[in-house]
Structure 1
Amino acid sequence: MKGKILIAAALGIQILAAYPAAAAPAAPAAAQVYVNGVLATLGKAPILVGQRTYVAAEDASRLLQGEWKVSAGNGVLKLSDELSFTFRLSDGKVAVNGKWVENGQVAKVQNGQVYLPLRWIVEQAGGKITWNAQKKAVEVSAAQHEGALVLLTEDKLTKDERVYVESVRKEQGIYQRGNLYVIARGESPNPGYGLQVTHTQWSWEQLLVYVKKTKPEPGRMYTQAIAYPYIVAKADLPPYTTVVFLDADTKKPLFAQ
């Protein structure tokens, strides 16, 4: 089955410090970013360059459920087996699926961090991006692909779904009710522990979902209170297709002993 471009709202923090800041001019901070109506928690604040919103490469990869890698002066954002972008950081050239293009929007490097053009990438991936003047926010509308995994916040659930989530969220495990999935980490000593979907991948008749068990940030103080991290998602899958949740670090089944 062909790779799909999946968009989720859960984002993580990853610092990239490999290239000089001179490649991009200073810019004011951009507005907040919403994905399918859900506020995205970005690791780095977006920047505005020529009235265009740029987000950190790591954040862009999580917004689009892709992979970001830097090698030999090139940054590669792979969204699926069918779509990838190569940003040559030395001279600003851009390639789509390995072919250099004239009208692509280049990456920017500021304070050692690579930023990518949000609108251009989203539109290339089949989505739409608009400006919400009332919220003063950038809104990303994801292209809904067959079998997409969509992460949900509580306000997107029905009353019955909220009751179900509450009944299972404190015990470690993966729970399914129809097309609703609850991934629960179980009891944790403080809110610094969590779960994060890093990317997804299609393999034959399976949707592979990679989940990272995050840990508290070094040096940050957390409320010493018991927490129960969990993720809620929906997946409308084609017939005879299953979802498999894997540990993003070990690539083994999530919560495997």
Structure 2
Amino acid sequence: MYGKSVVAVVLGLQIGFSAFLSAEASAQDITASPPAPASLMVNGQLTHLVKEPILIQEKTYITAQDAARILQAEWVLDGKTGTLQIGDSRSLGFQWDTGKVAVNGEWQEQGEQAIVQGQDIYLPLRWIVEQAGHEIAWNEQEHQVQITTTLKEGGLTLMNTEQLSAEEQKFVESVKKTRGIHQQGDLFVIARGESPNPGYGLKVTATQWTWEQLIVYVKQTSPEPDRMYPQVITYPVIVAKAELPPYTTVVFLDADTKKELFAQEPNPQ
């Protein structure tokens, strides 16, 4: 099918605060509560925020860099304005000196402002998730904040491992440590291989149809300069299913070089 496919990805943040759902308090008073633990589950895999989230008047804020990683976005700075570019069709702008907030370039009267803490810019977690078109809720039983994202990536559907069958999950586990593109039927596992910290990752940046081919552009993200990362071995992967018309193939290209992903290149670590 040449139409857009819908992606449902659940990100369960293991942040121990039941006050998360109380989002009525004003963010203008920046008297911060003690920081919450900085670990979370992304697509069923434990990962870590680079910086601990902060609680301000019972609202949760995370750094712009961590927000970009969670939402598969780009964080772009221009003076005292930062823009969270989410795909090709959604952007959230923040002016921290004026407190103004923009959605898709239009300044909002009811936006939630960014907060400056030291050298870091923090963004309101619930607000950015909802403005990105996703859902966020507190799961009392699992003691998790859960984010359900809806993205459109052409004929490629990004999968949460919990959406897979037991056999498919077993396949993912068997190949995720091996750098390359692994296929089982319509299931694809794009694995970067062993990485020394969570700063290394993978993300789909675009898809493109040609006559008989679906082209998927994948970016290999790297640690930001001068930032400290937990020294935890990770295995970045993208798990996806491709819904293709007959006689159509899929190819994965490096988003930066436009060459075949992982083709004749050494492991970056």
- TM-score scaled to structure 2, two decimals? 0.68
User: Residue 112 of structure 2: which of 105, 117, 120 is its match?
Assistant: 105
Q: For residue 165 of structure 2, what is the aligned residue in structure 1?
A: 158
Q: For residue 209 of structure 1, what is the aligned residue in structure 2?
A: 218
Tell me the alpha carbon deviations over residues 118-149 of structure 1, each in whole angstroms, 9 at most, x when there is no partner: 11121122211112234443211222546464
Tell me the alpha carbon deviations over residues 32-61 of structure 1, each in whole angstroms, 9 at most, x when there is no partner: 655566655322211112211111111111
What amino acid is aligned across from residue 41 of structure 1 in structure 2? H
**Residues matched between the structures, number:** 236
For 1:26-65, list aligned pairs within 5 A.
Answer: 26-30=32-36, 33-34=40-41, 40-65=47-72
Bigger strand share:
2
CA 1:255/1:55 → structure 2, altered by over 3 Å: closer, same or farther? same
Tell me the alpha carbon deviations over residues 79-123 of structure 1, each in whole angstroms, 9 at most, x when there is no partner: 122211110121110111111110111111112111111111211
Aligned partner of residue 121 in structure 1, secondary structure: helix
Q: For residue 233 of structure 1, what is the aligned residue in structure 2?
A: 239
Identity of aligned residues (%): 42
Q: Which deviates more from structure 2 when the two are superposed, residues 46-55 or residues 125-134?
A: 125-134
Q: Give, in whole Å, the separation in 2 of the partners of 1:93 and 1:129.
A: 23
2:149 is equivalent to residue 142 of structure 1: yes
Q: For residue 70 of structure 1, what is the aligned residue in structure 2?
A: 77
CA 1:7/1:209 → structure 2, altered by over 3 Å: closer, same or farther? farther
Aligned partner of residue 32 in structure 2, secondary structure: coil
Unaligned runs of 5+ in 1: 10-22
8 Å contact 2:7–2:149 — kept in the other structure? Answer: no
- TM-score scaled to structure 1, two decimals? 0.71
Aligned partner of residue 95 in structure 1, secondary structure: strand
For 1:167-178, list aligned pairs within 5 A.
Answer: 168-169=175-176, 171-178=178-185
Cα RMSD after superposing both structures? 4.0
What amino acid is aligned across from residue 61 of structure 2 in structure 1? Y
Q: Give, in whole Å, the separation in 1 of the partners of 2:111 and 2:152.
A: 24
